Structure 1
Amino acid sequence: MDLIGICLFKRNVSILTTLNRCRIFNSVVRWRDQKKLYTYKSLSDSAPTDLTRTYFSFSVRGSLFPKSLSLTSRSRRLGTEFKSPIQAVPVIIQPTREFHTSGRLKALPAPVIWLVLKPIQKLVAIILGRSIRKWWLALPANKKQLFREWMRRRRWHLAGAGAGFMFFISLFFLTHLDESPVTGRSRLLVFSRENFLELAQFTSDGYMEEFKESLLPASDPRHQVVEQVVQHIAQRNQDIAEISSVSWTVHVVDGPTVNAFVLPNGEVFIFTAMLEAVADVHQLTFILGHEMAHALIGHAAEQASLSHVVELLSLILLTAIWAICPRDSLAVLGQWIQTKLVQFLFDRPFSRKLEAEADQVGLQLAAKACADVRAGPVFWQQMEISEQLRGEPTIPEWLSTHPSHQNRVRQLDRLVPEALELRGRCDCPTLPAADPRVIFSKSVRLILENAKKQEVMEKEENNEKGRMLPLPQTPPVPAQGAPLGGLLASSALPQNSA
């Protein structure tokens, strides 16, 4: 067999066959032919190489082997050693690819596991509380008295256990405190931002599947405008690590919902109805800055962390409710009251707080992007008037997860002077002297005055027409033989003319 037959695998031999023929022991490569066992010894005493996961390709170069390197072949039958008649060239062994029989399994993000376990935890608490109630009701009176006496004797031990439990909860809070980006606010963070980046990918895939039929193409002018605004905001705020480390991707959904949201991984979703609701690019910059602020601060992880802690603490109260209430119907009512108290005392106030913080940070992002930050309060005034014109009911703020439009306008008005100073330090062009807030107020006042004048004029015209053609107080009695249709037509004339 010549040198090429020794150094190169045959093309018609499969990878698995080659692996069965090849063995490596202490830097020695051996492979079998039908009659002979060929051996190649390496110069280096490297560790044994594992061929179970990789296969090798051999190539030949033109330089000769050094004298100390020999290519030998051993006969399986005779066991004699002989040198190759040709001093061979170096053989290069390099891995080319790995074999994978199946894909690697990824662990579910912690928030997903918590969402799955949340109903199970409630069910366990209900069963435990109900079991305690049945156990207590089944106890005889003397054993109940003995249990009360035991509790009285052990009251200090039980108080110490409760104090230790509260100590561990406080220690848990202190070890999971984190500082919010941009604002520097201390917050509780049980789930890390990395966990929510993994969860955001699952959520993004779900939204892409849901909106796949209504996504605008990248060539659409509306998509291009949003893309330019998002990239401009990200470029002007590169000093914030949470913005510069994320790749921002835009998706414009053709839909009637006035909404926009940004996932923690930088996926921006905005509906065309929101593009129709904004008056100019300055308002659009403020809205996108607000949504990007949610992502860079990590409000989703913060809100889930607080909800997780409150849920765990409420499980103790839920168990006590089902243990104390004498009937299941009362326990269900107590559980419903507990759920509403948690919503109105913790969840919704905290959500409104995060929205107000996103307004503040979003206004700063828009200011650094050289937008007219005075347009921010105007947008929420427009939204309030639009909802009134559509006849939508006004929800009290304590029932909502968002601040009311009026409170948002007042808060942004307080933040506008600071945002204008920040904008002036960012080498932005000078803003026009006309304040959009003043222009909007005057426009609304003028529209209301014109509407009132129009209403007064319509009333006067109706009164004049009523005096000119008064309606009969009693319907006329038709004469004998008079046509009924003509009388009805004549009585309807004043109504039609009005």
Structure 2
Amino acid sequence: MDLIGIRLFKRNVSILTTLNRCRIFNSVVRWRDQRKLYSYKTLSDSAPTDLTRTHFSLSARGSLFPKSLSQTSRSRRLGICLTEFKSPIQAVPVIIQPTREFHTSGRLKALPAPVIWLVLKPIQKLVAIILGRSIRKWWLALPPNKQQLFREWTWRRRWHLAGAGAGFMFFISLFFLTHLDESPVTGRTRLLVFSRENFLELAQFTSDGYMEEFKESLLPASDPRHQVVEKVVQHIAQRNQDIAEISSVSWTVHVVDGPTVNAFVLPNGEVFIFTAMLEAVADVHQLTFILGHEMAHALIGHAAEQASLSHVVELLSLILLTAIWAICPRDSLAVLGQWIQSKLVQFLFDRPFSRKLEAEADQVGLQLAAKACADVRAGPVFWQQMEISEQLRGEPTIPEWLSTHPSHQNRVRQLDRLVPEALELRGRCDCPALPAADPRVIFSKSVRLILENAKKQEVMEKEENNEKGRAGVMLPLPQTPPVPAQGAPLGGLLASSALPQNSA
């Protein structure tokens, strides 16, 4: 190649290099303009100037490196995603977009697991009934020889069937072991199929339903009764901040104007109490105990525990229900067997377990009231008052084994056993000293005095009735007054009619 050709080649190479550098510079300018445009959209007036102060140097290889990275953290705080610079040789476009420009739709909320179980519960029963009835119809439709063959086939494979049953029991046991949990405060081991988080979601649905039901009878926040309940609930929560299940919940009070002597607390901290309950308590100490009892249900998670046991018992009873409809020769007998099964489950599992949870809530509620500096001796007095009130209203006494709650007498005895321990706990919480007079003793004396006065009044009424009876025997029988003769004086007539008449 001659000298002129070599010079022309070098000149072309120089021109190409210059063009490449211009392309790179133009890309940088376009990137800077784009970045400045987005910064004007998302930042303040001074922000674009700050973001465009970064200086860049172009190396001989054509790669671009930032000299200052001090703006990176600032831009991240403002919500802008920066893409790291790469060499233009890789031909990777740089796209800068602010995160504030993205809008996503709200996440769909699934129904809580307890709600799904409540919906599927009747469907499961229906499936079990249909399955058992189909098995019975299939068996009755078989001829006797095939029934005998099926019995022989079952006997030959008895060990396989026994192994399948053992495997089923193993998986049930494994399910129980993997769903054991420790109860707060008491430390009792329990079975939890539904978590507390599931019931917090369910509690929101339940709370909305109650608010809609009681919207016409809710007392305003300015009502003195609402203010008293609000102060007691917040005082209990403040004095028990060491319990995570209490400190992590926002407690809200709703006072319902109604004749029902009831109060309940949802797992999400929604407190509902009726005005009839406020009239039933004698003082603020009894009110503190009642609210502590209801708050104990919520913090321990009794709703989730009771639903978990009911769910497991229901699933196991489906096997028995299928067997009942398969074995009973007629549908009427199957319906009777199903009713007997439901009553046995109710009286052997559901109600005893409910009474156990109520007793535990009494124990924990007494501790919450003790830490709130209430007079815990007023707890047994409340249930004694409730027993007398029911007797005066003439309400029938239900045996304890038929009820979901312990009897008033058993509650009084249990609380009397727990009061000394609660008093010790109260003494360790820097509470003021209690009066020497025990409310239980005062209540017993008052009841005794009322009963004695009632007996005296009854005796006096009987004596008065007896005296009236004896006086009625001595009085003359009513007679027709004589017709006065003409000219007879009126005074003599009245005097003669008042005297007893002699028989002829």
With the shorter chain as reference, the TM-score category is 0.7 to 0.9
CA 1:67 to 1:486, structure 2 compared with 1: closer, same or farther past 3 Å? farther
Structure 1 window deviating more from structure 2 (59-68 vs 229-238): it is 59-68
Distance in 1 (alpha carbons) for counterparts of 2:104 and 2:4:
32
User: TM-score, structure 2 length as denominator?
Assistant: 0.77
Structure 1 window deviating more from structure 2 (89-98 vs 73-82): it is 73-82
Q: CA deviation at 1:15?
A: 44
CA 1:461 to 1:156, structure 2 compared with 1: closer, same or farther past 3 Å? same
Q: Deviations over 1:456-480 (max 9, x none)?
A: 1111111112226588899999999
Structure 1 window deviating more from structure 2 (74-83 vs 113-122): it is 74-83
Contact persistence 1:55–1:95 (CA under 8 A): no
CA 1:198 to 1:74, structure 2 compared with 1: closer, same or farther past 3 Å? closer
Q: CA deviation at 1:102?
A: 5.3
CA 1:43 to 1:116, structure 2 compared with 1: closer, same or farther past 3 Å? closer
CA 1:453 to 1:492, structure 2 compared with 1: closer, same or farther past 3 Å? farther
CA 1:217 to 1:152, structure 2 compared with 1: closer, same or farther past 3 Å? same
Contact persistence 1:23–1:29 (CA under 8 A): no
CA 1:164 to 1:93, structure 2 compared with 1: closer, same or farther past 3 Å? closer
Q: Deviations over 1:166-190 (max 9, x none)?
A: 1111111111100000000000000
Contact persistence 2:182–2:188 (CA under 8 A): yes
CA 1:137 to 1:491, structure 2 compared with 1: closer, same or farther past 3 Å? farther
Q: Deviations over 1:218-269 (max 9, x none)?
A: 1111000000000000010111111011110100001100000000000000
Q: Deviations over 1:321-354 (max 9, x none)?
A: 0000000000000000000000000000000000
2:64 is paired with a residue of what secondary structure? coil
Q: CA deviation at 1:104?
A: 2.8
CA 1:54 to 1:359, structure 2 compared with 1: closer, same or farther past 3 Å? farther
Identity %: 97
Contact persistence 1:129–1:320 (CA under 8 A): yes
Decide which structure has greater strand share: 1
Structure 2 residues without counterparts, runs of 5 or longer: none
Q: Deviations over 1:263-307 (max 9, x none)?
A: 000000000000000000000000000000000000000000000
CA 1:19 to 1:83, structure 2 compared with 1: closer, same or farther past 3 Å? closer
CA 1:426 to 1:459, structure 2 compared with 1: closer, same or farther past 3 Å? same
Structure 1 window deviating more from structure 2 (40-49 vs 249-258): it is 40-49
Distance in 2 (alpha carbons) for counterparts of 1:390 and 1:311:
38
Q: CA deviation at 1:435?
A: 0.3
Tell me the residue number matched to 2:57.
57
CA 1:321 to 1:444, structure 2 compared with 1: closer, same or farther past 3 Å? same
Tell me the residue number matched to 2:75.
75
Q: Deviations over 1:128-172 (max 9, x none)?
A: 000000000000110000000001111111111111111111111
CA 1:10 to 1:166, structure 2 compared with 1: closer, same or farther past 3 Å? farther
Q: CA deviation at 1:432?
A: 0.3
Distance in 1 (alpha carbons) for counterparts of 2:61 and 2:500:
110
Decide which structure has greater helix share: 2
Distance in 1 (alpha carbons) for counterparts of 2:387 and 2:3:
86
CA 1:286 to 1:139, structure 2 compared with 1: closer, same or farther past 3 Å? same
* 1:447 to 2:450 alignment: yes
1:187 is paired with a residue of what secondary structure? strand
Distance in 1 (alpha carbons) for counterparts of 2:431 and 2:396:
41
Distance in 2 (alpha carbons) for counterparts of 1:224 and 1:285:
14
CA 1:134 to 1:237, structure 2 compared with 1: closer, same or farther past 3 Å? same
Q: CA deviation at 1:98?
A: 5.8
Residues paired across the two proteins, number:
498
Tell me the residue number matched to 1:488.
494
Tell me the residue number matched to 2:43.
43
Q: CA deviation at 1:5?
A: 50
CA 1:200 to 1:44, structure 2 compared with 1: closer, same or farther past 3 Å? closer
Q: Deviations over 1:387-433 (max 9, x none)?
A: 11111111110000000000000000000001001101111000000
Distance in 1 (alpha carbons) for counterparts of 2:397 and 2:234:
36
1:214 is paired with a residue of what secondary structure? coil
Distance in 1 (alpha carbons) for counterparts of 2:442 and 2:490:
60
Q: Deviations over 1:99-120 (max 9, x none)?
A: 6585431011110010000000
CA 1:287 to 1:46, structure 2 compared with 1: closer, same or farther past 3 Å? same
* 1:394 to 2:397 alignment: yes
Distance in 1 (alpha carbons) for counterparts of 2:77 and 2:266:
70
Q: CA deviation at 1:7?
A: 46
Contact persistence 2:39–2:48 (CA under 8 A): no
CA 1:31 to 1:166, structure 2 compared with 1: closer, same or farther past 3 Å? same
CA 1:372 to 1:2, structure 2 compared with 1: closer, same or farther past 3 Å? farther
Structure 1 window deviating more from structure 2 (203-212 vs 80-89): it is 80-89
Distance in 2 (alpha carbons) for counterparts of 1:133 and 1:415:
55
1:178 is paired with a residue of what secondary structure? strand
Q: CA deviation at 1:61?
A: 33
1:496 is paired with a residue of what secondary structure? coil
Q: Deviations over 1:44-94 (max 9, x none)?
A: 999999999999999999999999999999999999999999999999988
2:291 is paired with a residue of what secondary structure? helix
CA 1:71 to 1:301, structure 2 compared with 1: closer, same or farther past 3 Å? closer
CA 1:213 to 1:40, structure 2 compared with 1: closer, same or farther past 3 Å? closer
CA 1:78 to 1:193, structure 2 compared with 1: closer, same or farther past 3 Å? closer
